[in-house]
Every structure is written in structure tokens, then in C-alpha cells.
Amino acid sequence: MRLAYAPYTLHFHQPAGTSRGILYEKPTYFIKVFDEHNPTHFGLGEAPLFPGLSPEADERYEYKLIELLANVALGRPTDLSHHSSIQFGLEQALRDFALGCRRIYAPSDFTNGRSPIVINGLVWMGSLEEMTMRIKEKVDAGFRCIKLKIGALDWAEEERMITAVRARFSPEKLEIRVDANGGFPMDAALPRLKWLADMGIHSIEQPIPAGHTELMAFLCSASPLPIALDEELIGISGIREKTDMLDIIRPAYIILKPALCGGFSGAVEWIELARERGIGWWITSSLESNVGLNALAQFTASLDVEIPQGLGTGNLFTNNAPSPLTLKGEQLMFDPTFVYDNRWLDSLEWRE
């Protein structure tokens, strides 16, 4: 078996605001595995690198891909325990290759076109007017659950926005999740959590920065609002580390981004540990292109999820890959009649 990879830069339709800054573009890497005697028959995956969030995002990243390329050719294993995005991409490519190189990663009623995945509507940070307009657009499109990125605006403005949304849509009509991306000041976190709970918010992701284990444990025990861990999971690879974190912090939910938490195999391990402890979870994309999002959606569908998932990022980029995924309101659907055109992939700069 052989491996090749191709770097690619995704460009946003509109600047994407987070509490860590504004994103205009995002690097990613496509991976394919193939039999050297039949190189046109290949399994495809994506290693979506996230600068500022992926621990492996540094100048040595491509050297790890070169090491993996060489080891695959030699039939030797590669330690990817600290390279979650590459683990994610390699698992996709191997699954695809094993299932016939049809871009089917997890066959299910979803890939047969019979069972859509319900997703939340993602509302990026912006001005008060921009976010209010985006919320209205999501509700008008049929979303019953939205996720608001907060933590970058003045808190008083965010209070006004959420108050206005709640005045129009009750918790019974619209579930609101918020994601602070660690943006709350430590001394203001608990009062804000109480206010959000009073507004009927479903949950909050990562209210304070990751790495403050004891304080996060306190917030989870004291907060009237369910807290979900997100960035807190990044870089935790050992089963003992995962177990200790969940047992100490005891969150209500964990948010799983396979590109950042050990690939599909790492996500499954987190899910098993969470289930043992009565901790809820859902899957969220990490700004993959349509290649990774397709694989992620299929993996998510195979888990028989029952609550809205965070997979609504397919239309963010101007230069995205062709995709069998379609979005109708809050329903993410797979078109089994979609025909892949490999000319888009052939145009990339593959390195073997």
C-alpha cells in the first residue's frame, strides 16, 4: 500500500469570527491510500489542520505526513497519538479503501438516502445586527436548534441579543446552545452562567479557557446551566487521562471533534467513557472541507444519534470540494446518486 497527501487552503465566503480572532482561510491536507499497481483506485481522507487549536499545528506537521508516507510504503506503524488530525484523515482513507473506494465510510440508512441527520444551525460571531439577522435566517430555514458563538462582543450586547431572541422564540420553540470558546473571564463566569440558565439556554460549551481543571470542575458542580467540554478534550490521548478528566470535572456534555480528539477511534473511546458516567455528547465538525465532513457525517449517522449534531459547516468555503451532502432546513442528507468527479482531486499538488 502507498500513501500520498496534498496541501490545500480553504477560503471563507465571509470572515468567521471566534473569540480567538477572525478566520479568513484555513489550511487542510487531503490524504489518499492506494495499491501502487492500481493508483487510480484510492481511499480518500482529510486531515483538517486548525492553527491555534490543533496542538500539532506547527512547522513540523508536514514532516509527520512524510514519515507516515514512508512508513505506509514500508508497512511500518506510525505513532499518531499527538497528531489527531492525521489520525482522522488516515482512518477515513483506510475505511474508504476497505469499502471499495466509493467515499462510503460507514454504510447506513443515511448513506442510502433514507435517514437524514438533524443538525443545529451555526451562528458565527459578528455585530449585534449581523447575529440577529443570521438567527432569523436560521429559524426561517427551519432550524429548531441553533448554536451561538459568543464571547467576542461586549457582554451587555450579547445579553441584549439573547434577550431579543428569547422574547420572540420560547425554549419550547427554539433550543439555543452557546459556545464561549473559553472567552468568559474567570470572575464573571458563574454570574453569566446563571443569567444564561434563566434565559432558557440549553447548554454552554467551554465557558472558560481549557486547562483550569479544578475551576472547571467547580463551575460544572455549581452552574445551573449544563456545561459541555470542547477545547478541554484536545490533546488528551491516554485512557487514564480521559478517565481522570471526566471523573474530576463531571461535565454535563462533551463535544467531540474527531479531528481534534484522536480521530474516529478516539471519539468512540470518549463516547464509551461518557456513557459509563451518564455524560451526554454530540459530534461537531472542525471546519473540514466537504471531504472530511462527508466522512464525519457518515460516522455520526452510524452512532444512532438522537439530538441535533454540529455538522453545519459545509457552505462556509468558496473553494470547497464536490459533495453528496445536501442541507434541507435542519436536515443533513446524503444523495446516494451523487457521482464523484475526480478531476477536482487530480488538480491538486499530490506528494508521494
Strands 203-205 and 331-334: unpaired
- 82 SS3 class: coil
* pLDDT above 70 coverage of the chain, percent: 98
- The secondary structure of 2-55 as a DSSP string is EEEEEEEEEEEEEEEEETTEEEEEEEEEEEEEE-TT-TTSEEEEEE---TTT-T
Residues 255, 229 contacting (CB under 8 angstroms): yes
Residue 291: predicted pLDDT: 97
| pTM (two decimals) | 0.94
* pLDDT above 90 coverage of the chain, percent: 81
| Positions marked catalytic | 149, 257
Domains 2-102+341-346 and 117-334 belong to one CATH topology: no
Query: Under CATH, to which class is 117-334 assigned?
Result: alpha beta
Mean pLDDT of the region 153-165: 90
Residues 117, 305 contacting (CB under 8 angstroms): yes
Residue-range domain boundaries for the chain:
2-102+341-346, 117-334
Mean pLDDT of the region 136-165: 90
Average the pLDDT over each of 12-21, 33-42, 89-98 and give the range with the smallest value: 12-21
Average pLDDT, the chain: 93
| pLDDT tens track for 165-186 | 999 999 999 999 999 989 899 9
User: What superfamily does domain 2-102+341-346 belong to in CATH?
Assistant: Enolase-like, N-terminal domain (3.30.390.10)
Alpha helices, H only, 99-238? 128-141, 155-168, 189-198, 213-222
